[in-house]
């Protein structure tokens, strides 16, 4: 609903464009981007409803217990020395790759690839390569997207990050998304950029897309647990908590990785993630409430 309201505001502010031809190429491109976003909003809402019905249909007594945090989970959460957040559909209310694809006119094709990657049916590195090959994102594309698409940070996140930092809990962003999109979000939340683990898009001297940096932890399947193991090895954090919505976030709970995985279903619900989480939540406020004062 928040996405829909924001989109309606964008369309209202652009109502004059529907009454006259665009006066410039930039204006025409912007109008085209808004029309694409409107087209894909309806499909996204239908997809999210199907996901909600799916997670409801597989609910079990064991899963219901995980919605109520155990004493062990609460103790680990409150004593965490570091918390790692996924970004898309967790820290933020959208999937930045999908939004960028919509902006570039290849939204549905890329959204399907993202769903497969987050659902665990396709290796992440393969899905990332396929999505970027379709998008062919230039340096200028990213700058234009950032100008037209300010971050949509999830409700409660800013307060949660501030609360954690006031407790001297280190905060990290561990994402399969792209650094040029995630770094500004880190800046808003006052998370040091050296605490960002994400993907780097490679461009040639003309700014055209030529690939991505395969040395980044999160450019491949198993990248998030590898990133977390590296963080723990460097800083000796214990316990360390991972929060996210997708299969790649759940992977972080592997041996030597996160000590606790909190699944987040406030944007998208994934049954396999809910089933594997130590605690499954639908609102960020639940994490704030659990911390207390």
CA distance 167 to 161: 10
Other CB atoms within 10 Å distance of the CB of residue 82? 23
Q: What is the DSSP string of 225-249?
A: HHHHHHHHHHH--SSEEEEESSHHH
Catalytic residue, chosen from 62, 71, 86, 204, is 86
CA distance 284 to 265: 10
CA distance 92 to 154: 5
CA distance 85 to 92: 10
245 is known as an active-site residue: no
Counting every residue written for the chain, the total comes to 293
Catalytic residue, chosen from 62, 88, 126, 245, is 88
208 is known as an active-site residue: no
What token pair was written down for 250?
């759940």
Other CB atoms within 10 Å distance of the CB of residue 258? 32
Hey, which residues are catalytic here?
86, 88
């Amino acid at each position: 609903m928040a996405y829909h309201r924001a989109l309606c505001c964008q369309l209202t502010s652009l109502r004059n464009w529907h009454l006259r031809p665009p006066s410039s190429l930039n204006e025409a491109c912007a109008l085209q981007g808004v029309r694409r976003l409107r087209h894909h909003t309806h499909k996204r809402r239908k997809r999210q409803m199907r996901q909600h019905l799916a997670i409801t249909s597989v609910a079990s007594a064991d899963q219901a217990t995980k919605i109520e945090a155990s004493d062990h989970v609460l103790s680990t959460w409150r004593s965490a020395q570091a918390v790692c957040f996924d970004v898309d559909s967790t820290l933020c209310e959208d999937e930045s790759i999908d939004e960028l694809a919509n902006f570039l006119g290849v939204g549905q094709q890329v959204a399907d690839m993202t769903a497969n990657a987050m659902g665990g049916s396709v290796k992440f590195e393969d899905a990332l390569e396929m999505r970027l090959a379709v998008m062919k994102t230039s340096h200028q594309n990213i700058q234009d997207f950032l100008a037209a698409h300010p971050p949509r940070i999830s409700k409660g996140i800013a307060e949660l990050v501030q609360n954690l930092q006031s407790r001297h809990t280190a905060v990290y962003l561990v994402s399969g998304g792209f650094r040029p999109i995630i770094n500004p979000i880190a800046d808003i939340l006052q998370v040091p950029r050296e605490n960002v683990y994400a993907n780097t898009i490679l461009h040639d001297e003309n700014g055209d897309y030529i690939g991505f940096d395969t040395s980044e932890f999160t450019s491949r399947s198993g990248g998030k647990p590898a990133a977390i193991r590296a963080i723990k090895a460097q800083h000796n954090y214990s316990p360390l908590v991972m929060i996210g919505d997708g299969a790649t976030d759940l992977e972080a709970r592997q041996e030597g990785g996160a000590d606790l995985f909190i699944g987040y279903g406030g944007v998208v619900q994934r049954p396999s993630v809910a089933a594997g989480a130590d605690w499954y939540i639908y609102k960020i406020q639940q994490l704030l409430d659990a911390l207390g004062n």
